[in-house]
Amino acid sequence: MDELELLKKDWKKQEEVFPKLSYNEIYKMILKKSSSMVKWIFIISVLEFLLWASVDISVRLSGDYDKLNVIELEGFSIVSTIISYGILIYFMIRFYLNYKRIQTTDSAKVLMQNILKTRRTVKYYVWTILSFLILNTIIFIGYLAIFTDTYSSQSEGEQVPVLLVVVSTIIGLGIFIGLIALFYRVIYGILTRRLKKNYKELEKLEV
Amino acid sequence: MNKELEHSFVTNLEQNQNIVHKVCRIYTSDRDSHNDLFQEITIQLWKAYPKFRGDAKFSTWMYRVALNTAITLYRRSKRSINTADIDEVNFKIKAEEYDDEVEQQLKLMYSAVKQLNDIEKALVFLYLEDKSYKEIAETMGISEVNARVKMNRVKTKLKKILNP
């Protein structure tokens, strides 16, 4: 193509007009902090781990779970605590390993894959821990509503119909999940929109 | 970080800084974002430098890191504006070397390249740098056949932009 060849000739000439940075100017640059998206992904991911792990742990430490002992769910409480810490540790290790794999010296495609993989690990963590918390809540409320004396021994006047408890729990959880999903679409969308677009563009070539 | 490493890095980059300038030239449109991207590429090169073994040429190694930074890592700063007026601002082509027609054609060509997406720009950049399809494929992480196919598509796309 003629135009591109013409551009190629000019391309070489333009070196003369580029600014020439001195040794000291370049040296100053390496002392500055990066503002790359990987750094932002790392910061946001760590914040998310802290946030969701602290939600989970604070519920466990707040003493609410002690009440479970009263209603014969002690075994359930221990198992669920172990599982929740297990989930946290598993995902943090995976996150760390994926993050370590991000290298600017890889090819463009591999680099993008690794960044997306790292980001996805955090996403999976959030959804896993949320599902787990929700499952816990459902089991807890279900058990409370159907099997325990604590609930059925309340006086007739105070007693709320079981169906109402279940329905309102589901609606509450639904709204909660909806908000998280929305928040995710926005934050995750802003962060990785360009990356995903470019990755798709590279993938498209392979068809 | 040890001083020796710093010194060898800065010296290497000082000698090869044109590669970085050229990447900035393709991906940015004004002086501020040019400098901003140059800064980020320098940091990324420096971060990756301890892993540079010297088995490839420093310049060859730079292409990858610089392009990866421009395509993937760099977050455009707010002040960057997407216009094609960089020619006037930063890199005035020496008028005496070209007749008007050629200069006009070049200007159109540069603004056409600006309209390409990030990946296409990378391909054009490597092509302008006289890289083989093998090298282009390796840098982008795609097969050589696909690099050729895509390059042809880019050429067609450029033609369309120039002759709508």
pLDDT at B129: 92
pTM score, whole prediction = 0.79
Instruction: Please enumerate in sequence order all residues whose Cβ is within 8 A of that of A95, keeping only pairs 6 or more positions apart, or say none.
Output: A45, A49, A118, A121, A122, A125
Please state the rounded mean pLDDT for residues B130-154. Answer: 92
pLDDT digits (tens, 9 = 90+) for B109-123: 888 898 999 999 999
Q: Give the ranges where chain A is alpha helix by DSSP (H).
A: 2-13, 23-30, 37-61, 66-70, 74-100, 108-146, 149-152, 162-205
Interface of B with A in 135-164 (CB under 8 A): 138-143, 146-147, 149-150, 155, 158-159, 162
User: Does residue B91 surpass a pLDDT of 80?
Assistant: no
Token pair for residue A57? 């742990």
Q: Do B117 and A14 touch (CB under 8 A)?
A: no
pLDDT at B120: 93
What is the DSSP track for chain B? --HHHHHHHHHHHHHHHHHHHHHHHHH-SSHHHHHHHHHHHHHHHHHHGGG--SSS-HHHHHHHHHHHIIIII----TT----STHHHHT----GGGS-HHHHHHHHHHHHHHHTS-HHHHHHHHHHHTT--HHHHHHHHTS-HHHHHHHHHHHHHHHHHHH--
pLDDT at B85: 41
Residue B163's pLDDT band, with cuts at 50, 70 and 90, is confident
Contacts of A114 in chain B (CB under 8 A): none
Q: Do A1 and B155 touch (CB under 8 A)?
A: yes
From B84's Cα to the closest Cα of chain A, the distance in A is 15
CA distance B106 to A8: 10
Instruction: Please enumerate in sequence order all residues whose Cβ is within 8 A of that of A24, keeping only pairs 6 or more positions apart, or say none.
Output: none
Q: Do A111 and B67 touch (CB under 8 A)?
A: no
Mean pLDDT of chain B: 83
From B141's Cα to the closest Cα of chain A, the distance in A is 5
Please identify every stretch of chain A with a pLDDT value under 70, giving residue numbers as ranges. Answer: 1-2, 63-73, 145-160, 162, 205-207
In a mutational test of the A interface, the residue from B32, B34, B71, B139 whose CB has the highest number of chain A CBs within 10 Å is B71
CB atoms within 10 A of CB A143: 16
From B80's Cα to the closest Cα of chain A, the distance in A is 15
Q: What is the ipTM of this complex?
A: 0.80
pLDDT digits (tens, 9 = 90+) for B93-105: 444 444 677 778 7
pLDDT digits (tens, 9 = 90+) for B22-50: 999 999 888 888 999 999 999 999 999 98
pLDDT at B93: 42
pLDDT at B54: 74
pLDDT at A82: 86
Q: Would you say how long chain A is, in residues?
A: 207
Instruction: Please enumerate in sequence order all residues whose Cβ is within 8 A of that of B64, keeping only pairs 6 or more positions apart, or say none.
Output: A104, A105, A106, A107, A108, B139
In a mutational test of the A interface, the residue from B10, B23, B35 whose CB has the highest number of chain A CBs within 10 Å is B10
pLDDT at B149: 92
* Number of CB pairs, chain A paired with chain B, less than 8 A apart: 167
CA distance B164 to B142: 30
pLDDT at B77: 55
Residue A150 C-alpha from the chain's centroid: 37
User: Does residue B82 surpass a pLDDT of 50?
Assistant: no
pLDDT at B46: 93
